[in-house]
Copies of this chain bind each other. A is one copy, B any other.
């Protein structure tokens, strides 16, 4: 069960941002580290991380809302565990960034030596600013907006 959001949906970037944001804090990474061994109750995490209860609660909420952990109530205790599916999303999103697109107005791969043609960076982009010189590849530009709406995969 994948929880990843396809690249071209409106929420695509938002989902990635939420996921990576949840991972961009030492306390939260430490929590996830502790959960590698299996589920733990909040009180355990509190002891080991030596963090105030409300602080821990806050960070657990961030992780929960990002889908990185699940919680389970049992009597007085709340047990938190890693959501492995969501960890897989990290790798999905990372490999997305790796995957080269079909270049639209992009320079390399097959780097174009613009300075040799005396044309600016990607030719047609510069054309908009009044300099109309074709690049060596003659690449056309069609509203390339990077990660969204112009995806090779997803």
Contacts and interface: CB of A to CB of B under 8 A. Distances in A.
A94 interface: yes
A16 to B, nearest CB: 6
> What's the interface size class on A, roughly?
35 or more
Interface in A1-58: 13-14, 16-17, 20-21, 23-26, 29-41, 43-44, 47-49
Interface in A68-94: 74-75, 77, 79, 81-82, 84, 87-88, 90-91, 93-94
Contacts of A21: 20-21, 24
Nearest to A118: B75
- Report copies per complex: 2
Contacts of A25: 17
30 contacts: A13-B29, A14-B26, A17-B29, A20-B20, A23-B24, A30-B145, A33-B147, A33-B148, A33-B150, A34-B146, A34-B147, A36-B97, A37-B102, A37-B107, A38-B111, A40-B106, A40-B122, A41-B120, A43-B125, A43-B126, A44-B121, A48-B145, A49-B146, A75-B115, A77-B120, A81-B108, A82-B97, A90-B91, A90-B94, A91-B91
Given A34-B146, A48-B143, A90-B93, 19 more contacts: A17-B26, A31-B146, A33-B146, A34-B144, A36-B152, A37-B101, A37-B102, A38-B107, A38-B109, A39-B107, A39-B108, A40-B107, A40-B121, A40-B122, A49-B146, A84-B98, A87-B94, A87-B97, A94-B94
